[in-house]
Amino acid sequence: MSLAAWRRLEAQARSARDTSILSNFHADPDRLSRMSMEAAGLFVDLSKQSWTKDGLAAALDLAREAGVEAARAKLFAGGEVNTSEHRAVLHPALRAPDGAHFSALGVPVSAEVEAGRQKMAALADALHAGKAFGATGKRFTAILHIGIGGSDLGPRLVWEALKPLDSKIDLRFVANVDGAEIAQALVGLDPETTLVVAVSKTFTTLETLANAEAARDWLRATLGEAGAKSHFAAVSAAPDKAVAFGVEPDRVFAFWDWVGGRYSIWSAVGLSCALALGYEVFARFLAGAAALDRHFVEAPLEANAPVLLALAHIYNRNGLDRAARAVVPYAQRLRLLPAFLQQLEMESNGKRVTATGAPVARATATNVFGDAGTNGQHAFFQLLHQGYDIIPVDLIGVARDEEGPDGMHTKLLANLIAQAEALMVGRSEAEVRAELAAKGVSQAEIDSLAPQRTFPGDRPTAMILLPELSPEALGALIALYEHKTFVEGVLWDINSFDQWGVELGKTLAVQILGELTGASLGAHDPSTTALVQRLKV
């Protein structure tokens, strides 16, 4: 890693700190064309970012000197990218067209991937043809998807984004170990027509197993033990554990240790979506991601959407010390995207040591939050426009959408464009004073109100436009953020593909569960001991 390259980027950011984004357009007439690009059908516009022309050049130099191109090649070649677990990282292999030749640490994997797809397609086709039956001979009309984290967030997002209004399949999700979620999910479902899909990479996840056991008890109450087994499918990288749980071997769908959970929607983790949407739709989703993969591999860095998006976020995070970022999709169907990106980015890059265990030299992942536009405008946009901190915003829009009454989508797009302009341009105090004076407001009240109604502007945004909310566009959008996250990890010299930070709390939860249900108390701090004693069953 070149320390000099980092210092050049940070120096450029400091020198441009007082330069407005709008003035950059005047100083750089080609700014819009150089910072906007097409990527697998997506339009990505980074012209409203804070960097100057020289700042962008410094960011690109950093990417080259940090070895982004070599790291990208290693990822697609199936090298040991996840170094702490000695694994390849090959989610691109999951969406590559048939006939691809991916290998993980030298072992070919594409044939297994294709076989897995064929198994998913066969069940999906049978389901939609009315040939997938439950224990009593009734066709499956509902799917209960059980998983958590990467086994839940991706499938939920895809289903919410693509589900047809007249879907013949009722797909519901359960993640939380809070019993309220599964209780609500089961309301109105018929055990005779419900297929349960339990998804867990290790098939040891406490929340998923608890919910799977609850679902199995629900099935048993109507169908008996044998009947319940025929209503279960499982997705796991530990198929033997799924079989031991009671799932029939031919209903266990594999994925592999070279697939990270938060990168796994492209695998059998997406089975429920493939079943509910139809496999043809799921295949189009994969194709959109594969197209973005090709762009990431082939486009030069200065026109590479994931690379430039990562560099924009790096410039804000490290050059300008902006610790948070909002993600606002102006599409109700994409309202789960911020939650999905919270896991993708914060679990991947929320690290304080490098891939070799040394302390990081600078801050890493941003705090990601957001909601659907225009809802967010009536919640946290006050902070974005007039808050003390400058918070960059990713705005996601859909160019064409015929869903809903005439004119609604145009109103949505108007808000999308207006917010980007307002965040960048703002409104000066002089403008506010003139407006209030024209309305006859007294000078004393103007002096009080004008500062409150002033918008400082100069808030950066990234604009990502989907031509329509198609399976292909959704696949490309998710892959864009996956590769953006990877590039950031390379620049920070961290491992984006492990998640040791989630382990300690899980381990302690197992211990405390035993103590809450009867075991003697172990060694805790006084506060934790008091809580266990207060809540002990």
Strand-pair partners of 173: 145
The H or E element containing residue 233 is strand 232-236
pLDDT at 518: 85
Task: Decide: helix, strand or coil at residue 364.
Answer: coil
pLDDT at 408: 96
Q: What does the alpha-carbon distance between residue 159 and residue 333 come to, in Å, rounded to a whole number?
A: 9
Q: Kindly state the tokens that stand for 166.
A: 């007249």
The per-residue DSSP string of 478-519 comes to HHHHHHHHHHHHHHHT--TT--GGGHHHHHHHHHHHHHHTTS
By annotation, the residues acting in catalysis are: 347, 378, 506
Count Cβ atoms below 10 Å from residue 331 Cβ, excluding itself: 21
Task: Decide: helix, strand or coil at residue 357.
Answer: coil
Which residues 6+ apart lie within 8 Å of 497 measured at CB? 81, 82, 85, 87, 89, 260, 263, 348
In whole angstroms, what separates CA 288 from the centre of its chain? 16
Q: What does the alpha-carbon distance between residue 331 and residue 314 come to, in Å, rounded to a whole number?
A: 26
pLDDT at 1: 58
Helix axes 206-229, 179-186, angle to 10 degrees: 30
The model carries a pTM of 0.97
Task: Decide: helix, strand or coil at residue 249.
Answer: helix
Identify the CA nearest to 100 among candidates 123, 117, 80, 124. Answer: 117
User: CA distances (Å), 522 to each of 482, 525, 537, in order?
Assistant: 41, 10, 16
Q: What does the alpha-carbon distance between residue 288 and residue 478 come to, in Å, rounded to a whole number?
A: 9
Residue 200 CB burial class (10 angstroms; 0-12, 13-18, ≥19): buried
Q: Kindly state the tokens that stand for 230.
A: 């025929």
Strand-pair partners of 37: 44
The H or E element containing residue 293 is helix 279-298
Side-chain-side CA neighbours of 71 within 13 Å: the count stands at: 25
Chunked in runs of 10, what are the mean pLDDT values of the chain (537 residues)? 90 93 93 95 98 96 97 98 97 97 97 97 95 95 97 98 96 98 98 97 93 97 94 96 94 95 97 98 98 98 98 98 98 98 98 96 97 97 98 98 94 98 97 97 97 97 98 98 98 96 92 89 93 90
Identify the CA nearest to 24 among candidates 315, 307, 327. Answer: 315
Q: What does the alpha-carbon distance between residue 332 and residue 339 come to, in Å, rounded to a whole number?
A: 14
